Amino acid sequence: MGKKIAIEPVTRIEGHARVTIHVDDDGKVENAYLHIDQFRGFEKFSEGRMYYEMPQITPRICGICPVSHHLGSAKACDAVSGIEPPRTASLLRELMHMGQTIQSHAMHFFHLAGPDLLFSFDADPKIRNVIGIVQVNPTLATKAVMLRKFGQEIIKTLGGKKIHPVFAVAGGVNNVLTEEERDTILKDMDEHIAFIQQGIEIAKRWVRDNMETVETFAVFPTGYMGLVKEDGALELYEGKIRLIGPEGEPWELFDPSDYLEYIGEHVEDWSYLKFPFYKKLGYPDGVYRVGPLGRLNVADKISTPLANEEFKNFKAINEGKPVEGSLWYHYARLIETLYAMERVKELLDDPDILSNDIRAYGGELQSEGVGCVEAPRGTLLHHYKVDEGGKLLKVNLIIATGHNNWAMSKSVDDVAKQYVDGNNLTEGMLNRVEVAIRAYDPCLSCSTHALGKMPIILEMYDKDGNLLDQITRDSKE
Amino acid sequence: MSHTIVIGYGNFHRQDDGVGHYIVQEVERQAGESIDTVCCHQLGIEQSETIKDYDIVIFADAYVGHREEDLKVASLEATFTQSAFTHHLKPDSLLALTQNIFQKTPKAYIVSVKGYDFDFGTDLSTRTQKWADIAVKKILELSGISK
């Protein structure tokens, strides 16, 4: 009779964010922490499964960016199976990846971050939401819905469904793109590009109007990491990992399969989420940031024309050196959205994308394999070790949000010290702490919505550890 | 007859959380093409563009909590509730979004069935399946297919 493994506590399966703020006798903030109270156990319970099941198992880690796990996993399976996918399969996978990037970034900017930018950090929460945006700018809201839908439809066209698609397999993909489907995707392309550019103007206007905040809100030096093409251009699907330091100085350029040589993971006793760092500098000197800000900081250029023009403006912010302010993530995210949209067009214009040559066979099983993609939130690594029959012996996953763990907690600490008054905790203070976390678009959300809840709890303690005050934001607010 | 769509949502691979999917499959089987259906993991803003074209929208979902009844059928009002990070919407928030963006407010119901087992797997618990079958009958009544 088989054994049944229970993972407890089940209420934490989708992740909770908890912020604790510790104040002294005068109510002044001494320290603040972002705690990720989640334990999923995917790495452990995948052991013993066949490696080729992973592209279907690992997307369950997340209901928001399952495509990233699906593709990262498939690339690891390519390596394990010793098979190079045909060019068409790589084009189709990248197309799905661009759909994921577009829908995720659009959702974040217009739905989650937009209310903070279009209203103010202190605005009444009753209007500081997506409905508030609809009411002040219905056209913008409608286009945002359609942009998100556009990305989702690409995923659905290729993978059969918008969330947890079934598409990539070891050595390729299992579905071709038809000419009709290609033309449908291409139909409203120019309109979507114009809308993204409109979003970029909104972000830039907000920055101009709030420059003092942008220059002081969670601004600190770190390293930065992201995939780049051979010529140093921004890359989201293939390429090498580039690590740079706070001044832009090169740290490393390496193949993702060598990540263990360069990336270590530190553990703190107040969070389940590990803290990755650059091994040669140790922790915390070697902490770095990923995601849109990290990627644009490491890139030399962008390969598509419109996004590259905007990228030049981004690079001018700090005269070519890395941009440090956490709020710049929003601007970087939109530039990437523009790139992803332009890249969709490039991919669809490639005649090979309609080919039926979508899967290769016959490789020699390897003992391990690493897959890497740039998920919307940053570099995602899947690493599998297998026995001679292909059964998984060890699984290591470093997720995008994990890379940013130190930076998110640092942002919370900085913002709490800057804005929180320990004698009078207000909603506006809570929102500023949220804004700092939200800039990174952390993926702590739920794939099991009935169980998963995503509250943020802000707790304030005195120096003896006594709870002084608490604000809980949940879906009822 | 009113133009109806049934949206079943939840995680099909977490047993009773997939009751919305089961209900949609049963509605498809019993009502054929007279009712449109969608299965999804969670509700998102883009679905406002879908539901705006219907007279009746019925959301089918699992319920977990302390409520005593196993099946709850309730009409929904368009009311937006914001959460801090979540990318999915509650059905009343989706309705509110649809109302605000497209000036359309379909008549809406939530049909929620209490879940008992959310372990890994695709089978419903016996009790949830029993009430899911009753939920299907209620949905067919709401959409005017049966009385």
Q: What is the structure's pLDDT at A295? A: 98
Q: Which residues are bridge partners to B114 per DSSP?
A: B63
Q: CB-based contacts of A49: which residues, under 8 Å, 6+ apart?
A: A57, A391, A392
Of A107, A131, A455, the CB nearest to B97: A131
Tell me the chain B residues in contact with residue A10 when contact means C-beta distances shorter than 8 Å.
Answer: 118
> Per-residue confidence at A88, pLDDT binned at 50, 70, 90?
very high
Please state the rounded mean pLDDT for residues A61-78. Answer: 87
Contact with chain A for residue B2, Cβ under 8 A: no
- Is residue A347 scored above 60 in pLDDT? yes
Query: Collapsing DSSP states into helix, strand and coil, what is residue A171?
Result: coil
Distance from CA of A315 to the nearest CA of B (A): 29
Q: Looking at this protein, which amino acid is placed at residue A374?
A: E
In terms of Cα–Cα distance, which of B6, B11, B40, B49 is closest to B24?
B6
Give the whole-number percent of chain A exceeding pLDDT 90: 61
**Nearest residue in chain A measured CA to CA from B64:** A450
The first and second tokens of residue B36, run together, are: 């449109």
Tell me the chain A residues in contact with residue B51 when contact means C-beta distances shorter than 8 Å.
Answer: none
Tell me the chain B residues in contact with residue A449 when contact means C-beta distances shorter than 8 Å.
Answer: 9-11, 17, 41-42, 88
Q: What is the dihedral of CA A253, A255, A257, A259, to 10 degrees?
A: 10
- Is residue A93 scored above 80 in pLDDT? yes
Q: Higher confidence at residue A130 or residue B81?
A: A130
Please state whether the peptide bond connecting residue A276 to the residue before it is cis, i.e. omega within 30 degrees of 0: no
Tell me the chain B residues in contact with residue A455 when contact means C-beta distances shorter than 8 Å.
Answer: 83-84
Contact with chain B for residue A473, Cβ under 8 A: yes
Cβ neighbour number for residue B52 with a 10 Å cutoff: 17
Q: What is the structure's pLDDT at A42? A: 79
Q: Which residues are bridge partners to A118 per DSSP?
A: none
Please state whether the peptide bond connecting residue A55 to the residue before it is cis, i.e. omega within 30 degrees of 0: no
- Is residue A6 scored above 50 in pLDDT? no
> Per-residue confidence at A466, pLDDT binned at 50, 70, 90?
confident
Please state the rounded mean pLDDT for residues A285-308. Answer: 98
Contact with chain A for residue B53, Cβ under 8 A: no
Mean of all residue pLDDT scores within chain A: 86
Q: Which residues are bridge partners to A159 per DSSP?
A: none
Q: Do the Cβ atoms of A131 and B96 come within 8 Å?
A: yes
**Nearest residue in chain B measured CA to CA from A164:** B41
Q: Which of A58-72, A74-88, A222-236 has the lowest mean pLDDT?
A: A58-72
Contact with chain B for residue A15, Cβ under 8 A: no
- Is residue B46 scored above 80 in pLDDT? yes
Tell me the chain A residues in contact with residue B46 when contact means C-beta distances shorter than 8 Å.
Answer: 103, 145-146, 148-149, 152
Q: What is the structure's pLDDT at A471? A: 64
B56-63 and B4-9 as β-strands: parallel, antiparallel, unpaired? parallel
- Restricting to B residues 121-140, those with a Cβ less than 8 Å away from any Cβ of A are none
Tell me the chain A residues in contact with residue B84 when contact means C-beta distances shorter than 8 Å.
Answer: 17, 434, 438, 454-456, 473
Question: Cα(B3)–Cα(A476) distance, rounded to whole angstroms?
Answer: 31
Q: What is the structure's pLDDT at A1? A: 33
Q: CB-based contacts of A157: which residues, under 8 Å, 6+ apart?
A: A177, A181, A184, A185
On whether the CB atoms of residues A64 and A358 are closer than 8 A, the answer is: no
Q: Do the Cβ atoms of B63 and A138 come within 8 Å?
A: no
pLDDT single digits (tens) B124-138:
999 999 999 999 999
Q: What would you report as the CA-atom Rg of chain B, rounded to the nearest whole angstrom?
A: 14
Question: Cα(A456)–Cα(A437) distance, rounded to whole angstroms?
Answer: 10
Q: Higher confidence at residue A278 or residue A468?
A: A278
Q: What would you report as the CA-atom Rg of chain A, rounded to the nearest whole angstrom?
A: 22
Q: What are phi and psi of A181, to 5 degrees?
A: -65, -40
Contact with chain A for residue B85, Cβ under 8 A: yes
- Restricting to A residues 87-146, those with a Cβ less than 8 Å away from any Cβ of B are 103, 107, 111-112, 125, 128-131, 134-135, 138, 141-142, 144-146
In terms of Cα–Cα distance, which of A361, A368, A360 is closest to A80?
A368
C-alpha angle with apex A107: B18 to A275, nearest 5 degrees?
85
- Is residue A142 scored above 90 in pLDDT? no
Q: What is the structure's pLDDT at A219? A: 98
Q: Higher confidence at residue B85 or residue A112?
A: A112
- Restricting to B residues 98-117, those with a Cβ less than 8 Å away from any Cβ of A are 100-102, 115
Q: Do the Cβ atoms of B85 and A456 come within 8 Å?
A: yes
**Nearest residue in chain A measured CA to CA from B119:** A6
In terms of Cα–Cα distance, which of A470, A427, A454, A415 is closest to A126?
A427
Contact with chain A for residue B9, Cβ under 8 A: yes
Tell me the chain A residues in contact with residue B81 when contact means C-beta distances shorter than 8 Å.
Answer: 475-477
CB–CB contacts below 8 A, A to B = 127
Q: What is the structure's pLDDT at B88? A: 64
Q: What is the structure's pLDDT at B45? A: 83
Please state the rounded mean pLDDT for residues A260-281. Answer: 89
Q: Which of A119-128, A436-445, B51-60 reaches the highest mean pLDDT?
A: B51-60
pLDDT single digits (tens) A393-440:
999 988 888 899 899 999 989 998 998 887 777 778 878 888 888 899
The first and second tokens of residue A80, run together, are: 């394990």
> Per-residue confidence at A332, pLDDT binned at 50, 70, 90?
very high
**H/E element holding B109?**
strand B107-114
Tell me the chain A residues in contact with residue B97 when contact means C-beta distances shorter than 8 Å.
Answer: 130-131, 134, 145
pLDDT single digits (tens) A9-30:
222 223 456 778 888 888 788 8
- Is residue A56 scored above 80 in pLDDT? yes
Q: Higher confidence at residue A163 or residue A240?
A: A240
Distance from CA of B21 to the nearest CA of A (A): 13
Q: Do the Cβ atoms of B84 and A434 come within 8 Å?
A: yes
In terms of Cα–Cα distance, which of A341, A325, A461 is closest to A32?
A461
Q: Which residues are bridge partners to A234 per DSSP?
A: A228
Q: What is the CATH code of the structural domain delimited by B4-142? A: 3.40.50.1450
Question: Cα(A72)–Cα(A90) distance, rounded to whole angstroms?
Answer: 12
In terms of Cα–Cα distance, which of A128, A120, A154, A77 is closest to A372?
A77
Give the whole-number percent of chain A exceeding pLDDT 70: 89
Please state whether the peptide bond connecting residue B91 to the residue before it is cis, i.e. omega within 30 degrees of 0: no
C-alpha angle with apex A235: A233 to A237, nearest 5 degrees?
160
Please state the rounded mean pLDDT for residues B57-70. Answer: 87
Q: Do the Cβ atoms of B11 and A449 come within 8 Å?
A: yes
In terms of Cα–Cα distance, which of A363, A353, A356 is closest to A78?
A363
Q: Looking at this protein, which amino acid is placed at residue A467?
A: L
Q: CB-based contacts of A141: which residues, under 8 Å, 6+ apart?
A: A110, A130, A133, A134, B100, B101
Q: Higher confidence at residue A256 or residue B85?
A: A256
Tell me the chain A residues in contact with residue B53 when contact means C-beta distances shorter than 8 Å.
Answer: none
Cβ neighbour number for residue A233 with a 10 Å cutoff: 17
The first and second tokens of residue A152, run together, are: 């989702």
> ipTM score of the complex?
0.71
Please state the rounded mean pLDDT for residues A287-314. Answer: 98
> Per-residue confidence at A89, pLDDT binned at 50, 70, 90?
very high
Contact with chain B for residue A7, Cβ under 8 A: no
- Is residue A99 scored above 90 in pLDDT? yes
**H/E element holding A36?**
strand A29-36
- Is residue A294 scored above 70 in pLDDT? yes
Cβ neighbour number for residue A420 with a 10 Å cutoff: 25
Question: Cα(B132)–Cα(B119) distance, rounded to whole angstroms?
Answer: 18
Contact with chain B for residue A149, Cβ under 8 A: yes
Cα A471 to Cα A21, A92, A421, A431, B130: the distances in Å are: 11, 46, 14, 11, 40
Q: What is the structure's pLDDT at A437? A: 85
What is the DSSP annotation of A221-281? --EEEEEE-TTSBB-SSSSEEEEE-TTS-EEEEE-GGGHHHHEEEE--TT-SS-EEEETTT
- Is residue A71 scored above 70 in pLDDT? yes
Please state the rounded mean pLDDT for residues A339-345. Answer: 98
Which of A53, A475, A476, A477 is the best substitution to test chain B (most B C-beta atoms within 10 A)? A475
Distance from CA of A25 to the nearest CA of B (A): 30
Of A162, A444, A454, the CB nearest to B40: A162
Distance from CA of A142 to the nearest CA of B (A): 6
Please state the rounded mean pLDDT for residues A445-467. Answer: 53
The first and second tokens of residue A411, run together, are: 């942002």
Question: Cα(A26)–Cα(A421) distance, rounded to whole angstroms?
Answer: 10
Q: What are phi and psi of A282, to 5 degrees?
A: 75, 180
- Is residue A477 scored above 70 in pLDDT? no
> Per-residue confidence at A40, pLDDT binned at 50, 70, 90?
low
Please state the rounded mean pLDDT for residues B43-57. Answer: 90
- Provide the residue ranges of all domains of chain A, joining segments of one domain with +: 10-42+413-473
CA A414, chain centre distance (Å)? 22
Question: Cα(A379)–Cα(A398) distance, rounded to whole angstroms?
Answer: 8
**Nearest residue in chain B measured CA to CA from A137:** B101
Contact with chain A for residue B94, Cβ under 8 A: no
Q: What is the structure's pLDDT at A475? A: 37
> Per-residue confidence at A119, pLDDT binned at 50, 70, 90?
confident
Cα A425 to Cα A62, A421, A462: the distances in Å are: 33, 6, 13
Question: Cα(A225)–Cα(A223) distance, rounded to whole angstroms?
Answer: 7
In terms of Cα–Cα distance, which of A215, A210, A406 is closest to A324?
A215
